[in-house]
Amino acid sequence: MEFAIEIKNLVKKYQNKTAVDDVSFSVKRGEFFGFLGPNGAGKTSTINALTGIGQFQGGEIKVFGFDVVKDYREARRKIGLSPQEFNIDAFVSPRDTLYYVGGFFGMPKKERVKRADSVLRELGFGHEADLPFRALSGGFKRRVMLARAMMHNPDILILDEPTAGADVELRHGLWKILSDLNKKGKTILLTTHYLEEAERLCDRIGIIYNGKLVALESKHELIKDGKSIEEHYLNLTTNGATQ
C-alpha cells in the first residue's frame, strides 16, 4: 500500500506547551481523510509541520515517501495547501496570484497561463478572475484559496477549514468540487468544524484532542454503532479522551 502521507511520532512544542504529542497516522493515496478536533487541538500545527510552515521537535513526516525536511523540494511539489486564513496579496488578481504561484512551483510561463485559466474556469470564475483579491466576495475569496492550492496540480490537497464562513450554497458547491477532485485521484486531507461535511465527504477520520490522536477509523467503522460522527466527536473531545 502506497501512502500519500505518513506521520510518525510527531511532536510539536511551543515553548512549554506541547501542541502535538507523539501523533502517528497515515493517509492512503486517493483517500479523503478528515482531520477533526476542537480549536487548539493540534490540527493546524500538524498541517504546518507537514507543509513546512512550522518546525517540529520530534518524529518524521513523509509525503509519497519523501521526507518533508530532507527532501523538502519533492515533498512540497506533491502538496497544495489551502490555509484557514486569507493570506493573499489584496491588490493582486486571482489570475495573477495563480500565475506567480505556478511559477514558484517551477511551471513555465505558457503552462502557467493555460493552467491558471483552466483552474479558474473549473472553479466558476468569470470576470472575477481579473479583479483584485480585496474586491471579491467571501465566496470567491474561498475559491481563490482552493485554486491556489490546485494550481501546480499536486497529488495531495491539504484543506484547512476550506468552507469556514461560507454560506450553505457555496459550501455545497465546494463539496461538489472537492468530491470531484477526489474522484479524479487527488488525496485530500480536510480539517473542518462542520462534522456534517466530514461525514459526507471523508473515507476515514482522525480526531485529535489536546495534541493526541484519540480516534482513527474509517467513517463506516466509526458510525457502525448507530451514533453520528458528531456524537463520537463530542464524546471523545469532552469526557472520553482524557480517561
Partner 1 sequence: MNFIGVLAFIEKETSKMRHLGAQILFAPWVSALLYILIFGQVVGQRIGEISGVTYIDFVVPGLLMMNIMQSAFGHASSVLYFNRFIGSINELITAPFSYFEIIIGFLVSSLIRVLVIGGGVYVIALLFTVTTVNHFFLFLFYVISSSIVFALAGLLVGLWAEHFEHLAIPTIFIIMPLTFLGGVFNSIYMLPEKLQIFAYFNPFFYFIDGMRYSMIGISESNRTAGILFILTLILVLGAWVWKLFKIGYKIRN
CB nearer to partner 1: pick between 108 and 226: 108
Closest contact distance (angstroms) between CB of 208 and partner 1 is 17
CB 29 within 8 Å of CB 78: no
Minimum CB separation of residue 200 from partner 1 in Å reads 27
Select 88 or 215, whichever has its Cβ closest to partner 1. Answer: 88
Which positions touch partner 1 (CB under 8 A)?
14, 48, 51-55, 72-74, 76-77, 79, 81, 83, 85, 87-92, 96, 99-108, 148
- Angstrom distance (rounded) from CA 70 to CA 104: 19
Q: How far is the CB of 67 from partner 1 (least distance, A)?
A: 14
CB of 236 to partner 1, least distance (A): 26
Cell of 96: 495573477
User: Hey, what long-range contacts does 85-93 have (CB within 8 A, 24 or more apart)?
Assistant: 86/133, 86/141, 86/145, 88/133, 88/141, 88/144, 88/145, 88/148, 89/133, 90/132, 90/133, 90/134, 91/132, 91/133, 91/134, 92/132, 92/133, 93/129, 93/130, 93/131, 93/132, 93/133
In angstroms, give the least distance from the CB of 145 to partner 1: 11
Residue type, 65: G
Task: State in angstroms the smallest separation of the CB of 14 from partner 1.
Answer: 8
Task: Identify the three-state secondary structure at position 209.
Answer: strand
Q: φ and ψ at 95, to 5 degrees?
A: -65, -45
Which one, 105 or 194, has the nearer CB to partner 1? 105
Query: What is the per-residue burial (b if ≥16 Cβ within 10 Å, else e) of 119-147?
Result: bbeebebeebbeeebeebeebbbbbbbbb
Q: Closest CB to partner 1 among 50 and 202?
A: 50
Instruction: Between 81 and 229, name the residue whose CB sits nearer to partner 1.
Output: 81
Least separation in angstroms between residue 31's CB and partner 1 is 21
Q: Pick the closer one to partner 1 by CB: 108 or 126.
A: 108
Residue whose CB is less far from partner 1, 72 or 124 = 72
